[in-house]
Structure 1
């Protein structure tokens, strides 16, 4: 079995959380919560940490086996099969959503004359190739881009800070309303849903006892990077312009000028950011393929990767008519669906608790 170190897990989860959120979350979050958007990210992170801790508790029940293999003994074969089927469909849906978001972004900004299906197909093929290289290779590749992301974020802030409208900073602690903060916090929880996937990766991990600390640190680093960019965007554009931008962080990088030889930095940012999306999509493709393979009793899930990738590609084409529908779904129904899916693995906790109490009682009786 392939092994993933805690350092590799930290870097991968950091990039996976950072990539999708920076690209597609800030605009909608700002529209709803305004200057309190930064607080929503922090509250959502805290709630996600609690959910992650419970998911790790489930995985620790049999640390050398996957949840797909031992879950049936906890809650019964039929309930376990239902929960796993729903989660696997959710993985496919998330993969399709990422593919569609990437397709819409590239077709709108850079490849207006390229067929949409070609962009989605190339993206899916890259992810299929990454997954077939192995889960360990996938996690190792994250280390090459971690430092680049940190440098790009810090560079952007340093280069545009002279354009910040600093008087707006007071609004970060004065313009708070309970209802928008609540809605923004609930929607922010799903931005950290990659941590829950450790439930399906646990047997691959080395030094399993450090997993909680690693995930807390990874999500914390990602949160800091997101906050730096979010606050920079708000200080630069304000809440109204940020909310109307489809990709506000991209606009921030377009504000940067380095002499006459380099017009702006957005090509460098896009190149690295695209890689984080490929890593995230590849993880969900692996989860779906491995989960299906384990449920049907295959020793190797690699033969399923191409088929599952093709399903995700097909779903991405039919998930919505246009980019407006995609954003509307993710902003409303997508939030409820994602949070419900994150709670599904917790159905195993009562069974673990009951078995633990029963085992303790039997031990005392002896």
Structure 2
């Protein structure tokens, strides 16, 4: 069953929101404080440029995935190297998802539970979801999307009554160009994961209409992050906000509502957990497609379980070495490495343009 472009729009929102709304907001508050809106605007704008390159690369052969035709652009060995980079990035990123899940539930609800047990349970769910394929993942995200919209709306409704809007002028009076540039690059890496969307083909034809839908999805995610960042600052202030690891959850717990709205944190937790599974499963699915190409389809049924086990092993290492986890999680060197991998569509599109243009000049001569 083929997916539609609006389904891809909803999938993109769920995919990106699983990370940005939970982890980017406290990160940008800690780093940029009042001028975080500058980094968000610039970072999101730059990520849309990467999206433009991604769609134009996918359009070269619309009914094929980039993994299959990329060698025609950059050569066989360079393409394999890029696939190894992307595969490693996907597996590593999935391990971060798993460890974030363990840290959250281990510190809030499952204290005393061995991290490896939680990681294995999560890994089984991710493994099963990734093995179902892209179409099934998209249909699962459809079910989450409506709940996500309702949950975000109610959460913002809880933020507004206690917000101190007298702080708004501070958003315009604090500027540090150097910090803004650095944080814009960091924000860009959160919004620029478009390279994995090259793998929606052949389930979905890559074309300009898809660009419009995904750009709209990117803007919607940006607006939810921007509003969430702003309301977190207006409610908690710049100093207390830096100490909040999960701002949305803290806002619900500290609200004055005693009814269903004030006790809706299980809904938020369930929503984030579901969207995280979608995010991690798609990463493992992409990694398995890369591995399948590199191994020429040998042992295909073992790829998803094997890659998931590697992610669990990395997450288990981090659970035993939290200092190393937080050091790499907050490292700007990791940000640069993330950006290099996320810009893979840019390299391919530029090389394809130069190569095809050169061929056209030879034909005209």
For 1:1-366, list aligned pairs within 5 A: 3-206=2-205, 208-259=207-258, 264-298=263-297, 301-319=300-318, 321-332=320-331, 333-365=333-365
Q: 1:179 to 1:207 in 2, by over 3 A?
A: closer
Determine if contact 1:27/1:247 at 8 Å carries over to the other structure.
yes
TM-score of the aligned structures, taking structure 1 as reference length: 0.93
Note if contact 1:132-1:305 (Cα within 8 Å) is conserved in structure 2.
yes
Secondary structure (helix, strand or coil) at the match of 1:244 reads coil
Residues 323 and 23 of structure 1: is their aligned pair in 2 closer, same or farther, counting only changes over 3 Å? farther
CA contact (8 A) 1:160 1:255 kept: no
| CA distance 1:20–1:322, change in 2 (3 Å) | farther
Count of aligned pairs between the two proteins: 364
Q: Distance in 1 between matches of 2:193 and 2:7?
A: 14
Given that 2:50 and 2:345 are in contact with CA atoms closer than 8 Å, whether structure 1 keeps it comes out as no
Q: For the structure 1 residues 26 and 322, does the alpha-carbon distance in structure 2 shift closer, same or farther, using more than 3 Å as the test?
A: farther
CA distance in 2, matches of 1:93, 1:292: 14
Contact 1:153 1:229 in 2 (8 A): no
Instruction: Give the distance between the partners of 2:25 and 2:350, measured in 1 at CA.
Output: 37
Distance 1:273 1:214 in 2: 23
- Does the aligned pair in 2 maintain the 1:35–1:172 contact within 8 Å? yes
1:338 to partner: Cα distance:
0.6
Q: Structure 2: 5+ residue runs without aligned partners?
A: none
**3-state DSSP of counterpart to 1:163:** coil
CA contact (8 A) 1:6 1:207 kept: no
CA distance in 2, matches of 1:299, 1:221: 40
The runs of 5 or more residues in structure 1 that have no matched partner are none
Contact 1:31–1:243 (Cα < 8 Å) also in 2:
yes
- CA spacing shift, 1:217–1:255, aligned 2, 3 Å: same
Q: After superposing the two structures, state which structure 1 stretch, 296-305 or 350-359, moved more.
A: 296-305
Asked whether the 8 Å contact 1:195–1:215 carries over to 2, the reply is no
Q: Secondary structure at the match of 2:192?
A: helix
Distance in structure 2 (CA, Å) of the matches to 1:161 and 1:351: 49
Root-mean-square deviation over aligned CA pairs: 2.0
Structure 1 residue 325, shift from structure 2 partner: 3.6
